[in-house]
Amino acid sequence: MYPLKFNPILKERLWGGTKLKDVLGKPIENDITGESWELSTVSGDISVVANGDLAGTSLQDLIEKEPENVLGKSVYDRFGTDFPILIKFIDAKQDLSIQLHPNDELAKKRHNSFGKTEMWYVMDADDDASLIVGFNKDVTKEEYAKSLENDTLLDLLNYEKVKEGDTFFINTGKIHAIGAGVLLAEIQQTSDITYRVFDFNRKDKNGNLRELHTEQALDAIDYTKKDDFKVKYSQEKNTVNAMVDCPYFKTDFLDLNAGLTQDVSGRDSFTIFMCVGGSATIANENGSVELKRGETTLLPAVSNTIKITTEGAKLLEVTI
């Protein structure tokens, strides 16, 4: 199996814009495209191979046919044929809704789904663009509920100004939102379970307010103020720099201006590369793929060696 690229799954969003086309070259056809799903086996949104002899084959079919070769034995033993990662690029022209995600236990009980732990890597940000991550003080459930009634929730939230390269880890229960003017790469558990708690009283194209999940969120929120979300990582050139290592995914940062070869024969996991800057050629024993900013590739676990050729690229490398 060679390095695989997939057709992007483009999503219109009330808050979306045009940066996915203008900055990343995605083939969007409207001015409110908010998300490009790069790797997905979410029901109804399953990625399809775009390159080579396997073009037209769905990621789910590949996994069903050769689970250990695609996923790795340890990943298959843990998740079965469920692909455990969802990879996106997100363009927020407007603020996203204030939201949070349930943990695995709650998501399994209520939705028969994984929870949703995620991370963000900021690729582009307008001047003074920010994210909302957590509370600015410890709050009680009662204080939180009262703030919703009084329309003062925003006064309780923590705002973080951002620039390219800033990285955030969003664990379950943490209230958050992507702010207007931010383009980012998102790596998350395979789950589309979101509890929306405030949406700035916006209406959709049909004049309707979007659904809120006020009651469901009450028992899912972490109400404590924490400073555990900003990821500090090395940006040393031409090596693998650790970013996030959690039970659901491991992400490293590669800032390359020369080639790099990795022996991954003992990895026992697929490898994903998201190109967040520049361009590179990524190869294993069975082929290669060209990757430019805003593109993603999946190298099956059966790969033994990964060879990256570039004169300048920034890559996020994701494994389990």
pLDDT in tens, 143-152: 999 999 999 9
For residues 61 and 297, is the Cβ–Cβ distance under 8 A? no
CA 98 to chain centre: 17
**pLDDT score of 107:** 87
- Cα 268 from Cα 65, distance rounded (Å): 17
- Please write the tens of the pLDDT for every residue from 176-193: 999 999 999 999 999 878
Sequence-distant (6+) residues with CB within 8 A of 175 are 98, 99, 100, 132, 134, 135, 157, 197, 221, 222
For residues 115 and 189, is the Cβ–Cβ distance under 8 A? yes
- Cα 142 from Cα 124, distance rounded (Å): 37
| Mean local confidence (pLDDT), 198-208 | 85
As its CATH architecture, domain 240-319 has Sandwich (2.60)
CATH tag, 9-218: 2.60.120.10
CA 169 to chain centre: 10
- Please write the tens of the pLDDT for every residue from 17-63: 999 999 999 999 999 999 999 999 999 999 999 999 999 999 999 99
Mean pLDDT taken over the chain: 95
Residue 47: exposure state from Cβ atoms within 10 A (0-12, 13-18, ≥19): buried
Name the 3-class secondary structure at 21.
helix
Say which range, 1-5, 163-167, 196-200, 267-271, has the weakest mean pLDDT.
196-200
Catalytic member of 78, 196, 210, 267: 196
pTM (predicted TM-score): 0.95
**pLDDT score of 113:** 84
- Cα 222 from Cα 140, distance rounded (Å): 10
Domain ranges in the chain are 9-218, 240-319
**pLDDT score of 114:** 82
**pLDDT score of 171:** 94
- Cα 123 from Cα 268, distance rounded (Å): 29
Residue 281 has pLDDT above 90, yes or no: yes
**pLDDT score of 207:** 85
Q: Read off the amino acid at residue 258.
A: A
**pLDDT score of 215:** 93
- Please write the tens of the pLDDT for every residue from 208-248: 888 899 999 999 999 999 999 999 999 999 999 999 999 99
Sequence-distant (6+) residues with CB within 8 A of 50 are 5, 6, 7
- Do the domains 9-218 and 240-319 sit in the same CATH topology, yes or no? yes
Binding-site residue numbers for Zn(2+) are: 101, 118, 176
Residue 202 annotated in active site: no
| Mean local confidence (pLDDT), 65-78 | 97
- The share of the chain scoring above pLDDT 90, in percent, equals 91
For residues 148 and 156, is the Cβ–Cβ distance under 8 A? no
**pLDDT score of 202:** 85
